[in-house]
Amino acid sequence: MEIIFSEKNATGIITLNRPKALNALNIEMAKEFSDKLQEWDLNDNIKRVLLVGEGNHFCAGGDVKSLFLTKDQNNHKKEFFKIEYKLNYLISQFKKEFLSIWNGVVMGGGVGLSIYGDHRLATDNTKFAMPETSIGFFPDVGGSYFLSNLPKNVGKYIGLTGKLLEVNDLMFLGLATNYFKFDNLQSLKENYVEKGIIAEEKFEIDYNSEVIKNIDLINSLFEGDIFKIFENLKNNQSDFAKKTFETLNKKCPMSLGISTKLINDAKGKSLKECLETEYQLSQNVVYRDDFDNGVNSVLVTKDHNPKWNPSKITEINIEEINKYFESHTEKLYL
């Protein structure tokens, strides 16, 4: 079983059970997760939910590799994103307490399964990222919503660069709500399941982290659209700007353009509005060659050398980016 449900002491426990695939979420798991959550929402005997990943990691994201491998079955791409995004919204509307344990890797679709719950618990080995621009896609599962709500353009920085965040930055930015020492996780689970208690562990934020100490610089560098961001980075002589420029030059140019517009436009919008926009966008972007090339290069052959088309930001214009945002398929009707 790739997803396991159990009930104990008024707690519904969900275990993502694909450890060899770092618990990547596939369409069957998302369907079962949705069904069970709706059942528990109506069940008065269930007071809270605990979401964990089997093995050393929480969830490496949605199973986009399967989308590439079944690329001739076009309906799969439509159904996968529809079910996944509806599940993201369902979690946001779930009326009972919802705790996720962010152990190990938490990326993309794994963020979408947890960030809309009440508590996200990070440990010393948590590795959080939205790495979609590396595979010709964009930060989805409501990424436009939660990234646009982070301070000082840091959400755009995270979404475009795929920056790996650890517990310090996650606590500083409020992406994680609680910290717990990895060694004490078993007692934490027992306390939550038995008594509904999350014992708080003190966490001292280190303000010398790369993200925190450069947050004002990030704010100025990541202001505007993708063309302005590249101009800002080129004109800034700091080591941080040079390093960031180098990172962005390896990402999919069209993904960068689309992701920037997506996050800029999301400011002030609801999660429901953001997911509707992302669904329309997904059904344009997944049929681009960049998506197939990116997934193949990063997740299948793992040569990490995708050929993007267009290959540079300078080969894109605003009209091309805007075209991807046109509504063209049925809505999610959240």
Decide if 248 contacts 226 (C-beta within 8 A): no
**How many Cβ atoms from other residues are within 10 Å of residue 256's Cβ?**
24
State the Cα–Cα distance between residues 34 and 136, nearest whole angstrom: 27
- Catalytic residue, chosen from 12, 62, 112, 143, is 62
Closest CA to 277 of 267, 262, 264, 291: 262
- Catalytic residue, chosen from 132, 169, 278, 292, is 132
Per DSSP, the residues of 197-264 read ----------TTSHHHHTHHHHHHHT-SSHHHHHHHHHH--SHHHHHHHHHHTTS-HHHHHHHHHHHH
State the Cα–Cα distance between residues 149 and 297, nearest whole angstrom: 31
133 token code pair: 């621009």
Q: How far is CA 104 from CA 77, 250, 264, in A?
A: 28, 25, 30
110 catalytic, yes or no? no
Is it true that the peptide bond before 139 is cis, omega within 30 degrees of 0?
no
279 token code pair: 């669904």
140 catalytic, yes or no? yes
- Catalytic residue, chosen from 104, 108, 117, 140, is 140
- Catalytic residue, chosen from 61, 109, 117, 142, is 109
268 catalytic, yes or no? no
> Beta strand pairing status for 48-53 and 3-8?
unpaired
132 catalytic, yes or no? yes
State the Cα–Cα distance between residues 286 and 70, nearest whole angstrom: 12
Active site residues: 62, 109, 132, 140
